[in-house]
Structure 1
Amino acid sequence: MCIFVPYMREKTIDYVLRATWMAVAKMYNEEAGTKGSTMATGFALLSIDPEEGTPSTALGPKMGMEATSLSRTLKNMEDKGLIRREKNPLDGRSVLIYLTDFGKEMRDFSKRVVLTFDEAVQEAISEEDLRTFKEVAHTIMELISTKKIYNQPETVTK
């Protein structure tokens, strides 16, 4: 039982989302830290196809990361021997990211961490409540992606 629940009920929806995600991120970073890694690295490992590799240009959108943060993460991963970069044989302008054997091992670790969290949540929360949670999260994402919260003014072109 979380001691913050009664306090959080009085807060805004964005506060609950942010506080919850920050707690999850902290938990993931602590667990990743036991292997000298980070949540961002674990997320990247899970986003790279372990057999076919993944174009570096596809990783940013897939992970929701800015190019600068992604570049730094990939550089650290390469320095740690988790990934290797190769020119894309189909498009010489792009690079494919492949997991090394160590990268695949760490990907498995990251996957276990995520699945352990998922299983713990599923054990603690009813199927109906989880379904409702996912529906609410989907609706929030839909409101944001369709710009139904803030109407974006049309840009003036000259």
Structure 2
Amino acid sequence: MLMNNLSIIVRHSKVFCERRLQDYGVGFPEQVILMFLASNDGINQDAIAQHFLLDKGAIAKTLRKLEEKGLILRHQNPENKRENLISITPAGQGIMGEMGKALQAWNASFFEGLSEEDIWQYERITKTIADNVAKLTEKDSEQDQKKMGAVKNDKSK
């Protein structure tokens, strides 16, 4: 039931956010990337992909849309000419204000009827679960890499 409930919450969140920002033409994936960039300005595309556990192509597509809309800029990294650093433009910052308003409205409804203690417990528990699953996927990824290394070593013999 937990996964079903989480899935429902995420789907409703996506619909809510897209409706609230439809006048700006910014879809949910673009909103998520903008929120991440707001607190990680000047980060590269690979770091964004790693954070969201998405392939570089998906991130590149979303960044291209944001760039076409004038919401982000890509700057060549002076220390690594092959790498672009991503920054939010003033127009992107303006949308962040609208996203903040939408988030406040979402949270007011999301936590309706819950006490401050309930909210604190929810946040503590979901943070613990998020940390646990992150560790699990990292562990699985390391095991997969070890298996791939063993397979390569076997083939070279």
**TM-score (norm. length: structure 1):** 0.75
State the partner residue of 2:18: 29
CA contact (8 A) 2:71 2:91 kept: yes
Which one-letter code corresponds to 2:75 in the other structure?
E
Q: Who is 1:7 aligned against?
A: none
Q: Among 123, 127, 130, which residue is 1:134 paired with?
A: 123
> What is the CA distance between 1:141 and its match in structure 2?
2.2
Contact persistence 2:74–2:84 (CA under 8 A): yes
Does the 8 Å CA contact 1:50/1:104 hold for their aligned counterparts?
Answer: no
What are structure 2's unaligned runs of at least 5 residues?
A: none
Structure 2 match to 1:155: 147
Question: Is contact 2:44–2:85 with CA below 8 Å preserved after alignment?
Answer: yes
| Percent identical residues | 19
Matches within 5 A, 1:57-72: 57-72=46-61
Residues of 2 paired with 1:108 and 1:58: CA distance?
24
CA separation of 1:107 and 1:140: change in aligned 2, threshold 3 A: same
**Equivalents in 2 of 1:91, 1:25: separation in Å?**
36
On the 8 A contact 1:88/1:96 being kept in 2, the answer is: yes
- Displacement of 1:14 after TM fit? 0.9
- Kept in 2, the 8 Å contact 1:54–1:96? The answer is yes
* Letter in structure 2 aligned against 1:48: L
Aligned match of 2:78 in 89, 93, 111? Answer: 89
C-alpha contact 2:42 2:87 (8 A) present in aligned 1: yes
Residues 1:78 and 2:67 are matched in the alignment? yes
- C-alpha spacing 1:102/1:17, structure 2 compared with 1 (3 Å): same
* Counterpart position of 2:98: 109
**1:51, CA displacement in angstroms?**
9.5
Unpaired runs of at least 5, structure 1: 1-11
Counterpart CA distance in 2 for 1:142 and 1:56 is 23
As a proportion of its length, which structure holds more helix?
2
Helix, strand or coil for the counterpart of 2:24?
coil
Q: Deviations over 1:56-96 (max 9, x none)?
A: 22222334433222111111111111112110112212101
Select the residue among 134, 145, 149 that pairs with 1:145.
134
Q: SS of the residue aligned with 1:92?
A: strand
TM-score (normalised: structure 2): 0.76
